[in-house]
Chain A
């Protein structure tokens, strides 16, 4: 029997399959479709300090082998999460990782502090616009990422992951800054910035002009980013971007990922994540691999 257990800091996962923030709700709805306790963990929809309305419709548009989204972080805010959502998801027997999104660097600290001890871990969504810097995302500025990581480290004892935006020149430098400032892991990639135009109406197909591209269309890009980051940092790397099935998951593990996140695949295949868990078990048995570490990062440039 293969052992799929992995660890981030002190946090143990029964298997390396997580569900990406924003693609799994908060777990309760999906638990009506399958038993989410079979997963390594779930990452909540991003939580902001104050409630956020989100962006005008249309918020999604399908593109070749993928989709663009501009949901705009719609959520009912931290207090609602603590009072109404958390008590319900406590019952799910898997790791609950809260994704947090700040409007300022300080807000990340406040969110981390208020969630300390309440969930199993945090994922820091740094792909939100930094209003002070003209809307460029925090994650595109290495100094800002370093500061946010440091603040969060100071405010929480929970293990935390920083989710990296791929819309940068050297993603490995950003990952390094996370490691140096106390992050327990990095996850990558978040969506690639993109757009689609309605030629007939001469307008953007999204209500808020641009959006984030996800799905199989971005898998080769994401895989390469994981490979680059894996070669530069020693903390666990969580691979994400277009993972649809166990073969995709294995590619990310071979590129260096310790865990993987299943994202927009769930929209198309609600059972994608549990099927990947099963697939990894079968693969390990068939290949006679006791633990996945044996193949982690096995395909590299060196």
Chain B
């Protein structure tokens, strides 16, 4: 029996504020072999006392042997406790969990990322780049933060930045520029990957349908277990009655399989 999922006694290594209340945090995970797929996530236990009781799911932003990075936005007590941890403080991290993005190597991948939804797509972009695949990453946010600059620096010509207030790149939303963006790219075989707010997922999916481009979405939902045992994080299936679990069947789904 291969035991793929592990509960790591990790160490908080460092954090960097990327935007107001958004942190890129690096953890040291002893014995982690570094193998995880873009789209997979980890469950972080905020505190050793029972309040907050449940762990919190975070997409893997990046990982290597014995190291993992997550992008965390402070939205409540649990994320605040994690963000305020000190260097060398211990934290339990379970993972890697869920299914990652399928990589379709004969197609040009277009990654559509909104705000902190960039986390799994950064990891995907990094992998596509390492495999010399053709891809584009469109990153949108309300106003320019360090993330826009980092994406530009790391993915250079593969990246396209938009902001709602025009503070960097086009003044637009990420899904809003898809029609003109694709017209410029020309006739090719494409696949879309999207993670961000619900409205962004919907707009990207409807664009994909119009152009007959497959779309993969990364979904989020409150979770208790993260492993598929509690059936707490359900999403309605599109093809037949019933539900799928986001943690085990997802968090990455073909847009045609789920109701968003």
* Interface, chain A (partner B; CB < 8 A): 22-25, 29-35, 45, 51, 53-54, 57-67, 69, 71, 74, 215-216, 244, 264, 266-271
Which one, A61, A64, A268, contacts B222 given CB within 8 A? A61
| Cβ of B52 to closest chain A Cβ, rounded Å | 6
Check if B6 sits within 8 Å of A60, measured CB to CB: no
B86 on the A face (CB < 8 A): no
Check if A244 sits within 8 Å of B230, measured CB to CB: no
| Cβ of A12 to closest chain B Cβ, rounded Å | 24
Please, which residue of chain B has its CB at the minimum distance from the CB of A219? B50
B239 on the A face (CB < 8 A): no
| Cβ of A94 to closest chain B Cβ, rounded Å | 14
Q: Which residues of A contact B7 (CB under 8 A)?
A: 33, 269-271
Please, which residue of chain A has its CB at the minimum distance from the CB of B92? A269
Check if B243 sits within 8 Å of A35, measured CB to CB: no
> Known interface pairs A29-B229, A29-B248, A267-B225. Does A62 touch B53 (Cβ–Cβ under 8 Å)?
yes
Check if A216 sits within 8 Å of B224, measured CB to CB: no
Q: Which residues of A contact B243 (CB under 8 A)?
A: 53-54, 74
B227 on the A face (CB < 8 A): yes
Please, which residue of chain B has its CB at the minimum distance from the CB of A58? B222
Q: Is the interface of A mostly helix, strand, loop or mixed?
A: loop
Check if B228 sits within 8 Å of A60, measured CB to CB: no
The 9 closest A-B pairs by CB, nearest first: A25-B229, A60-B232, A267-B224, A267-B225, A65-B50, A216-B50, A71-B231, A59-B232, A65-B51
Q: Which residues of B contact A60 (CB under 8 A)?
A: 222-224, 230, 232-233
Q: Report the separation of the CA atoms of residues A246 and B75 in the bound assembly, to the nearest whole angstrom.
A: 33
Q: What would 11 A/B residue contacts be, using CB atoms closer than 8 Å? A: A25-B227, A53-B242, A57-B233, A57-B234, A74-B243, A215-B50, A267-B54, A267-B230, A268-B50, A268-B53, A270-B94
Which one, B54, B55, B227, contacts A33 given CB within 8 A? B227
| Cβ of A34 to closest chain B Cβ, rounded Å | 7
Please, which residue of chain A has its CB at the minimum distance from the CB of B237? A53
B88 on the A face (CB < 8 A): no
Check if A268 sits within 8 Å of B221, measured CB to CB: no
Please, which residue of chain A has its CB at the minimum distance from the CB of B77? A62
Check if A58 sits within 8 Å of B51, measured CB to CB: no
